[in-house]
Chain A
Amino acid sequence: MLTSVTTSPTAAASRTASVDAWRIEVFRKSAHDDPEGRRAEAALCELGWNTAQNSVRVGKGYLLSAHLRAEQVERIARELLVDPVLEEARIVAPRVATPPAPAGVHRLLVMRRPGVMDPTAVTVERTLARASFAKLPNAERVRALTFTAYELRLALDTAALASAARQLFANEVIEELLVDREDLHFDFPQASSERSDGAVQLLHASDEELLRISRHGGLSLSLEEMRAIVAHYREVGREPSVCELETLAQTWSEHCKHKTFAGLIEFTSPAGVELIDNLLKQTIKKATVELARPWCVSVFSDNAGIVEFDAGFDICVKVETHNHPSAIDPYGGAGTGIGGVIRDILGVGMGARPIANSDAFFVGPLDLPEEKLPKGCMHPRRILRGVVAGVRDYGNRMGIPTVNGGVWVHPDYVGNPLVYAGTVGLIPHGMAFKKVSPGEKIVVLGGRTGRDGIHGATFSSIELHDESAMISSAAVQIGDPITEKRVQDALLRARDEGLYSALTDCGAGGLSSAVGEMGADCGARVCLDLVPLKYPGLTPAEIWISEAQERMVLAVPTDKVPRLLELCAAEDVDATVIGEFTDTNRLVLECRGAIVADLEMHFLHEGTPRPLRKAHWSPMRLEDPGAPACTDHRSMLLTLLARPNIASKEWIVRQYDHEVQGRSVLKPLVGVKDDGPGDAAVLQPLENSRRGLAIGCGANPGQGALDPWAMASASIDEALRNVVAVGGDPARVAILDNFSWGNCQRPENLGALVEASRACYATAKAFGTPFISGKDSLNNEYRLGDETIVIPPTLYVTAVAIVPDISTAVSMDLKEAGNALYQIGMTHAELGASQYSAQLGLGGGRVPRPDLALAPRRLAALHRAMAEGWVRACHDLSEGGLAVALAEMAFAGGLGATVDLSRSLCAQLPPGYDPLATRLYSESCTRFMVEVRPRHSEAFENLLADHDCARIGTVSELPRLEIRSAANTVLIDVAIEELRAAHQGGFRG
């Protein structure tokens, strides 16, 4: 039987409760395997519960409007909700109690809290609205909500089950968990009790009151900022309205304004005291300005950086952080992170087509014992699984290949993980700029506005603490990728028809930021009543600052409005005129016939006080533990390969569609078994051009705590060598900086930021590599009582490079026995924060720094050799040093290698550095391992003669990696399958 319908109350009704909606639960038939159930069983096992096979079944639940007739509901179930081969449905009529679960079976229900995005429910509602048989008598739209039902045949009491469910199946920040209870809700979120259209009494408030208003309102405005607002409104002669104050808080937030980077800094270092006026302009932007690369089309001025590509197209790139939301809800946080950065690309210039995504995660130790987990934190494993799933579900649904990224583990990310998401787009040349004109209509496109994401921008600007999850739940959202895909489809068609003159995305700050920014040079008037809402009861301020996802704002000339609305309707996208741009230089908001905000654009954008912040820097006096000798290099190599920063990320990569759109040339994983960790991805962006695009990254968080200057410089070097290793032209690399730092109100944190920024300037200048975009997230700490866990200073660098001809791209797997192996670049005594030191539990040490005089020329020479076709394989030497690079190349290629370590290039070593350990595991910069055919060896050696190049070994048919020392003793002799197994042996999701 397909369905069982319960229409009359059961005897057990006293135990259960009913809901005023049709309730449909869809379970697998018992004859069919239930993968979701098995996954739940595995998760329970991991928590230490003994689960028998088939003890958990997972069902999909739906609630539908009570006004539907029984036969309508049955038909909806049959035609839409149930697979007739695999599934069966249980239908319960409105206000009828659910039949009791069989004895010994517990039921768990997980349902999104009222107002939290429920994408499946939205899709069901839209589908039923188009279906003729599902009409309601009163012509209302059918409402739907979804839930997940778990049926567990487990000998657990309700309390133990609730505790397990909280860790595994439900995140109570956004979801309701019902354990052996059936009282689901079918409610709209309650209307806000907060005041909203009145004025805020600021003008006569004391400093204490000002701070209290800022804190209580979640505004994250400092006292100086509150005072600036008071001073302004004294001039105006009235109190600010709620909407005005909220608009100022959003626009002035660290997230939107980058007050630290753009502010004044009094920097004290051993060299003395100096005043830095705008750190960004003095370092990162300065490198770009001075380099003045003609192929930089638009940098630091829009949603993303834009550089020239080929054949009438430019490439644009943006990378964002989404740290705090991901700490509280990893799945939703990472999903909306990637959704947001995709919208940055959709909204750059006149709109670009996203062609690739990247992601990077920095989390606490994956093997952390549960009892060491700080209160209020999620386990790093759960965080990592959640953020991977979030990126997967959003990126895959958008049809954008996720091609590059990384995972880094460090104990100090335990309370504040970092999530970076990046998107690369393709935009026709000449579309990089936009202009809003007065009189143009303001059109909002895409998702409806709800009470989600209130204060995301201001929330991201403060530190996390053990009650953040409960207090800031409103700042967390769930993404709806299908709405964003519709928006993309409509938007790019509207662009090509010339239907708008400017656009931007709704990100942090929602409409307040988007409209405020677009109208900055002219003025704007918005009627908040026109904004389409998800449900009633929002205050004007909530409508205005909601960060509900999947929305774009367009400036549309009046005569183009009808065609734009028609096009959007044809694509099934909601588009609504909500106001117009004016020439008043004021931002005016109306609601229900009243003016709820009337703000001067100039004050909104230029009125932020520039605080003077203090920064201190003195080089750390670190112990140098050197490089102790190792008695068993074979074991050490196998251990290093399994360390989380090095171990295979295949379990993540395979969950991402990294090939959709058909542009991939070098995939993230390469080699005979498709499991070699490639240095960077290569795409063929345009069908009719052989020009490629390499996308790579670099980061090394452990180094940041020791030497932020070196960390920043080495991270840039790593990103560059990754893209050069696959065939990228070092003269055509553009880079992006993404800083995640601790609280920069603390002078030592800000001092480290100054150091790192200066390293960015020096390194970018030396390599001739401009920054084209960047972002900073400066409050990454976790407060637990009196203790604060500060993340290590982290700079994540993204590099995109032109590959002149994709047919010359190079992968890292060894290709043919008999080929020569070359080390390029000199090894130094640089094991600070290396994987070898970390494995031995050693702190301190010297952090690698690229040789800024030699390194750029080395990259250029290597690229020439690649262009000549002399390089069969190339891999950069990074974490784990030369030993790990050789191991990865060997198992990836399914070939062995014999290496004479005494031939490897190594600088004079200070005392305490064992020469063998240093050569094998040092992580010095700008080094590569290169495979060259014998017939090209001479030419290759000649070309690289002045660039620290030494032949150190040969590729062999025998599938073993054999590394000998000077005395011709064997240091390492290991089968490549053992290396592969070690590399695959880490955490696998």
Chain B
Amino acid sequence: MYPAAFDYTVAESLDHAIDLLQRSGEGAKLLSGGQSLVPLLKLRLVQPAHVIDIGRLPGLSDVLEDEAAGILRIGALATHAQMGVSSVVRDKLALMTEAAGVIGDAQVRGWGTLGGALAEADPAGDWGPVVQALEGRVECTGPAGVRVVDAASFFVDAYTTVLADDEVITEVRVPLPPPGSAGAYLKMERRAGDFAVASVAVQLELDGAGSCTKAGVALGAAGLTPIKVLAAEETLAGQEVTPDVVDAAAGQVVEAANPLADVRGSSDYKRAVCGALFRKAVDIALRRHRGEDVRGGHVR
């Protein structure tokens, strides 16, 4: 409840933030909404020498549809709540709206940011699997300029990403799915507001006949990082989504999951939950494709 001492600076600009990071080295931490960092500071699980506040940098919190590029551009400082109410997100990327609605609680969602959550890289984070299933990319800005990293290769380990000590996440880019696409994000928790026991993000591109042309499948809280289940994606792609196909893909999901046992469940149990959530998520995506109004998000 009592953070260790640190120096604190408000970054006046993105360049200033990067400059401060460069000078502080690995002893610095960026603060945006604080909903990931402050809890860690309180338990002294991180003890940075220097906290650099980028929470009010302008121009980093817009959610914009870039039709020319066919992508949705989400500023790193966009809050979860902002994602939850964005109509463009709701219309095109239902599973992002769903993820935004299941993160923590109202207080966290109002202040916590997408960039902050991705940078924290909590193994049970909600955005990781969603952005992976959507084949999103993460824009990282450093002294040498901008580089864009596939979400699939952004996470390295628990609480570790490819982000360098002097880089800042500035934007997340998500391809706008073609018409006929549908997805779902499902999260099972021990009690509301908790981290996931396991979570599954599924996004399917479906043709007029209901066959899957492309699939995105990723798991949260199923290992040290989010897990993109390429095998299941390949199984689904180019197929009519029959029970046999779903069975085969669910088997691959269970195979890919590598969760740690904790108070939320044993490793075997969480693997089974991944399989069950995957089946439900595919079912919801297909029903949504057919125009049904189906609820995703929390599995209760």
**A and B together in one complex:** no
Residues of B within 8 A of A (CB): none
| Chain A interface (Cβ < 8 Å from any Cβ of B) | none
